[in-house]
Chain A
């Protein structure tokens, strides 16, 4: 309704039109330039810390302290802090090994279990299915940090405290992943499965060789969420193990900062360790960007 009353004001009278158009064009140019400047400032805010991190890893301790903002190490002490990480003054190689083991098992396990359960909830009919799905939704709402002491109690009771099992099994419980897989399977048309049924395929065969190959996009999303989640996981590792031989990268880095090695401010060493721990996720992120975008929109949000 208001449109009709406002319109004459916007449509400027013809004589002044030319000047107005000019001014408007100038204004849009200014807007674009200002907009671009704002964007670049924000891009710097979001990216420059990583520049500081990379540069810091290659600086000497005095240089890092004196020029914390500079992107250029002077003189470049190529690899001296990386050297320290690997020559035995830290357990960095061991942490990396443990992280790789945990991440592989958690990612593989989640892919299998989540897709199995997701398929059952989406396609198979069995008594209790509705209740089961409601349970999965309810469990998704439990805040994770609240579970730290509770998880320790259970791991202790089960007798698997301080083992690889304690690091991996709790992370396999992944209601969010089950939910993502269920939602995805429901978008696949049933006709292909029905055709395979008629050809006499059993349920597992059907799932394995017909449904799973079609679920590639969802499986990639799930892989990324699981990889990133377990690679970066700290709290579960804190309550699951205590032996330094079972530390993963986040736990090891935490020890490097807060523990005995934290004595003194060896920032180049810490920064290079943090940098190396970030690189795998960084590579996966750049390679599979669009899947990350999807993952973030399907509920894989960390606090």
Chain B
């Protein structure tokens, strides 16, 4: 018994543990499970409070909401009571398939958030990377000051920041005063529902936004016309995008900064000796080494930005003209405002699914292409060797 080695037990279960275990030096072999009396009991007792809370407030809610999303519960009494009608996929059908106001609103919220994510994720990733590189310069005076300045918005309350931006983006507010200095008449930001793409198309005289071509206006997908799908983010949404990019880049900057400081100096130095200019160094030397962090930041950005809620709750409540409605906000108002908990819960699950799918798509798009090329080359080599072997 005493000689049974334990490491397999330690690594059992998740890939994460075994990966972590592989990185650390192995503990000496030859220990029994439960080296000390009562170790297993202590282990369970120690982890029980945290685990129970995680189950009660994360796992159970998901299962319970899944059930509710399949019923016609009205918010009265327990959703598990006998009288609650089972609705099957009706709530989901109303969001995705059945024509009507529910689907129109939900699809509008998807469209808004799609444009939001398309702008927020690249902008915050790019800005974070840029700030990290600037702050990482060795000869920079006051590095700590700048790092603090860029990071500070990230730690403040989203509610407080939203109030500040409401004030700055009023029709005669700070932003428009600033724009006035350079002779631009700023829009009325949070009250402006015009889509950015519509404005651009109108500005270039390609399409008149007031009478869009019938081909776009009269045909559509999932309850919205093509013209509506192609609106772009509204001016109001653009202001929210600026707010979010401003608050999140600092956090992501720190992730890049930590990675930059860990990069081996000699690679950079030898590339300078090789005569690579700043851009070449950025594209061919620094960025490839930051690949894991870029991947992480985009993943976190995607997950975070699909959930946009606080800013919309404080600033626009989905308006103007529903152009800042997001699935999370719509789910909240449907549930708590209209007491339609099943429909609201169904929206959260569709949102959940969207986040999972988006993350997977991003994984696929950003997969290591060299990896695939190598594998293919290897396969080709093996195949040719086999052919030669049989010939």
Chain A residues engaging chain B, CB cutoff 8 angstroms? 2-3, 6-7, 9-10, 32, 35-36, 38-39, 42-43, 45-47, 49-50, 52-53, 56, 64-65, 68-69, 113-114, 116-117, 119-121, 124-137, 139, 142-154, 157-158, 169-170, 172-175, 178, 183, 186, 190, 197, 203-204, 207, 228, 231-232, 234-235, 238-239, 249-250, 253-254, 257-258, 265, 267, 270-271, 273-275, 277-278, 281-282, 285-286, 289, 292-293, 296-297, 301-303
| CB atoms of A293 and B49 under 8 A apart | no
A130 touches B11 (CB 8 A): yes
Contact A113-B255, Cβ < 8 Å, known A134-B14, A148-B331, A153-B61: no
Report the Cα distance A68→B258, complex, angstroms. 37
Complex Cα–Cα for A292 and B305 (A): 22
CB of A145 within 8 A of CB of B307, answer yes
Interface string of B14-50 (1 = CB under 8 A from A): 1011001000100100000111101111111011011
Q: Which chain A positions have C-beta within 8 A of B173? A: 68
Give A282 to B134 CA distance when docked, in angstroms.
Answer: 24
Q: Take A145-B307, A148-B328, A154-B64 as given contacts and tell me if A234 and B148 are in contact as well, using a CB distance cutoff of 8 Å.
A: no
Whether B352 lies near A143 (C-beta < 8 A) is: yes
Complex contacts, A52 vs chain B, CB 8 Å? 164, 167-168, 174
Within 144-169 of B, Cβ neighbours of A (below 8 Å) are at 144-168
Q: Are A46 and B150 in contact (CB under 8 A)?
A: yes
Contact call A232/B47, Cβ cutoff below 8 A: no
Chain A residues near B168 (CB-CB < 8 A): 49, 52, 68
Q: Is the CB of B160 within 8 A of A117?
A: no
Nearest to A9 among chain B residues (CB) is: B275
- Is residue B109 within 8 Å, beta carbon to beta carbon, of the partner chain? no
**Which B residues lie within 8 Å of A281 (CB)?**
155-157
Q: Is A274 a contact of B163 with CB atoms below 8 Å?
A: yes
Of B95-103, B220-228, B343-351, B376-384, the one contacting chain A is B343-351
Q: How far is the CA of A282 from the CA of B148 in the complex (A)?
A: 11
Main SS at interface, chain B: helix
With A253-B159, A303-B307 given, name 8 new contacts (CB 8 A): A6-B274, A68-B170, A120-B42, A148-B331, A150-B348, A175-B54, A258-B317, A271-B163
Chain A residue nearest to B59 (CB atoms) is: A139
Q: Are the CB atoms of A203 and B61 closer together than 8 Å?
A: no
B298 contacts chain A at the CB level, 8 A cutoff: no
Pair A49/B309 contact, Cβ less than 8 Å: no
> Does the CB pair A154–B61 fall under 8 Å?
yes
Q: A149-B348, A302-B304 are in contact. Are A285 and B251 (CB under 8 A)?
A: no
Among residues of B, the one whose C-beta sits closest to the C-beta of A296 is B254
- When C-beta atoms are compared, the residue in chain B nearest to A11 turns out to be B275
Q: Which of A124, A150, A270 contacts B345 (CB 8 A)?
A: A150
Task: Give which listed residue, B39, B144, B300, B332, contacts A301 with CB less than 8 A.
Answer: B300
Collect the chain B residues with CB atoms within 8 Å of residue A128's CB. Answer: 44
